[in-house]
Structure 1
Amino acid sequence: MSNGSLSLPISASGENTSFNRPTANFHPSVWGDRFLSVPCSAESDSRIQEANLLKEDVRKRLVSPIDDNNFSLKLNFIDSVQRLGVSYHFEHEIDNALCQIYDISTKENNIIAHCDDLYHTALLFRLLRQHGYRIYSSRFS
């Protein structure tokens, strides 16, 4: 039966039946067929280039070295990138930055030296735990 062509269903009496399907007479769209094909223009190319430049800027900020001056800024930046929903572009860079932060925090065994307020301390714990680092509050006091 499956010879690659379509056939009408056969009724119980063995005869081909024809279907009379209703059709809808929708009014033509006010948009026409404007969005059926989108031409690639120089404007879209420039936006793609701009997006790539912005991605590289974010990547540079994520891989920049961490010191006492930008420790909290780096945590806020990683959190912002994740909340914006673009962290999938920078998974490797975020993992490396959090690994550096984890090494700094556990080597000195004193988070308070880098996170001077409760918000940044909680942010540090949340980011590290979300990325699978085992960090306990009882170790740091």
Structure 2
Amino acid sequence: MYKKFTGIVFLLLSGCSLHPYTKDELLNTGVTSPEYCLTQERAEVEKRVQSYLNHCFHPQVTELTTGGRLVNTIQLKVDSNADRSDMVLWAPTIYGSQFYMNVIVSEKNPACKTTMTAVASGWAFERNFPKILESAKGEDPWCPL
């Protein structure tokens, strides 16, 4: 009984560190979406996807009836260069930075105007892949989280 209880406590305590601590670790261990081939211009896709990510994942504070607060500190960081744009969802935690999703927009496939892929740290973020694609195409998807 004691071993079972210890195992459950260990799982609960380690649950805060289930996400990768670096962007490279996320790219190497995360779940990767299909490579989406889009007919829209790269700048337009970047703007639409960034808008979706800012809408669905933004810092927020929830006041509890007990007087406490829950703070969600997920942030979006955008790194762009001539080859590609990385839109990274991450959060600072007491365990160090944790990385949840990276959306990569580029023009690497000559058969497409724009190419997009995403890498997620788990199911909760992976289920956004279809919504990110919808937003890239100019639709107005709802936020699954």
Q: TM-score, normalised on structure 1? A: 0.25
Larger Rg computed on CA atoms: 1
- Structure with more relative contact order (C-alpha pairs < 8 Å, separation 6 or more): 2
More strand by share: 2
Q: TM-score, normalised on structure 2? A: 0.25
More helix by share: 1
